Homo-oligomer: A and B are copies of this chain.
Amino acid sequence: MNIKTLAAQLGISVSTVSKALNDSYEISAETKKKVLDLAALLNYTPNAYAGSLRNKKSSNIAVVLPEVADSFFSQAINGIESVAQEKGYHVIVYLTHEKQHKEQSILNDFRNGRVDGVLMSLSSETTSDEHICRLKDKGIPLVFFDRVPEKMMAASVVTDDFEAAYKATVQLIGKGCERIVFLSLSDKLAIINHRVEGFKKALSDAGRTYHEHMLVNCSLNEQQNYETLKAVLTRTERPDAVIASAEKTATDIYSICNQLGLNIPADLKVIAFASLPIAALLSPPLSTIVQPAFEIGKTAAALLFKALEKPGFKLKNEYVILPSVFIERKSSCP
């Protein structure tokens, strides 16, 4: 079923059919109707690849994410979709599973027209930026959100990571916590480093000195991560508070505390960067730094469409910072 078949059946030319299908002003209402009717009858759908090839436009945007089993990312996807939809674009979700090599091969695949633009949150493993540069070299618009690259000039949408971590730390210090540990995802991610900076600043403002053991890099390997966290909670100088940089880290901490018989918040206070809708339902309710995930997705997508719609428009290093909200619950209260 293609345009040629339609044309043949109607005894008219393919270009007339094409124009009719695209509602061109050149075609008479009568012809249009005939074409549309037959198309409907024959269950015709245009071949997307032929159109993309011809028009050098796919009407697809890619969303490249570490993982989808995370409230932040799944909400961000919805934000992105909400704007893509009204622009008539498809959203294609690609998962890196936190692997640099997957991220690279996905991005390589975008270099020749598969998608018109890319929204992306870096994998925690990513150190090289070659794949990103190569994509930019091809002139494909690219907007990062949340997990943005450190030094690169790239449009980015993030939250006030420094301030949020600072505030969380101040809170915990205020509750009398002596041994606060920051659970990082990776030392390669800019936003995490901003959070770590906020953490350090709060410590020094409180007249404390930062030590290396106060920062723990969580491996993203499921099993190993669990072991890492367990080791932290069984140190001889056991922490009395942690700040977790991801939903998964926080819930792992909960599991381990259950297992070790540690009481939250009595033995360990917990604050997490997390967008879990059910934070309040945990035992105990989890204090969270909530990022406006849906909004972040929306904003990043809006930025991307600016570039997509204005041919001349170049995404510079626009850097949008959206505020996060600290919600105090039982897990960080005395």
B-facing residues in A275-292 (Cβ within 8 Å): 277-278, 280-285
Q: Which of A36-73 contact B (CB under 8 A)?
A: 43, 45-50, 52-53, 58, 68-69, 71
Q: A258-B280, A282-B278, A282-B283 known; A50 and B53 CB under 8 Å? A: yes
Closest partner residue, chain B, to A293 (CB atom): B69
List the B side residues contacting A78 at CB < 8 Å.
Answer: 68-69, 95, 97
A255 an interface residue at 8 Å Cβ cutoff? yes
Check: A323 CB closer than 8 A to any chain B CB.
no
Q: Which residues of A (254-272) have their CB < 8 Å from a CB of B?
A: 254-255, 258
Does A300 have its Cβ within 8 Å of any Cβ on chain B?
Answer: no
- Report copies per complex: 2
- Evaluate contact between B69 and A74: CB separation under 8 angstroms: yes
Instruction: Kindly state the separation between the CA atoms of A6 and B263 in the bound complex, as whole angstroms.
Output: 65
Determine if A153 is an interface residue (Cβ-Cβ < 8 Å): no
Closest to A275 in B: B69
The stretch from A109-117, A154-162, A173-181 touching chain B is A109-117
A110 to chain B: closest residue by CB:
B45
Assuming the A-B contacts A74-B74, A95-B81, A281-B282, are A49 and B43 also in contact, with contact meaning beta carbons closer than 8 angstroms in the complex? Answer: no
**Do B77 and A114 have beta carbons less than 8 Å apart?**
no
Complex contact A112–B45 (CB within 8 A): yes
- CB of B280 within 8 A of CB of A282, answer no
When distances are taken between beta carbons in the complex, the residues of chain B under 8 Å from A49 are 49-50, 52-53, 58, 113-114
Is A134 in the interface zone, CB < 8 Å from B? yes
Please give the distance in Å from A126's CB to the nearest CB on chain B.
19
The 8 closest A-B pairs by CB, nearest first: A283-B283, A69-B74, A45-B111, A93-B93, A49-B49, A45-B112, A49-B53, A49-B52
- Residues in A lying within 8 Å of B, measured CB to CB: 1, 43, 45-50, 52-53, 58, 68-69, 71, 74-75, 77-78, 81, 90-95, 97, 108-109, 111-114, 134, 137-138, 251, 254-255, 258, 277-278, 280-285
28 residue pairs bridging A and B, Cβ less than 8 Å apart:
A43-B137, A45-B108, A45-B109, A45-B111, A46-B112, A47-B53, A48-B109, A48-B113, A49-B49, A49-B52, A49-B113, A49-B114, A68-B77, A69-B74, A74-B74, A77-B95, A90-B94, A90-B109, A91-B95, A251-B277, A251-B278, A254-B278, A258-B280, A278-B282, A281-B282, A281-B283, A282-B283, A283-B283
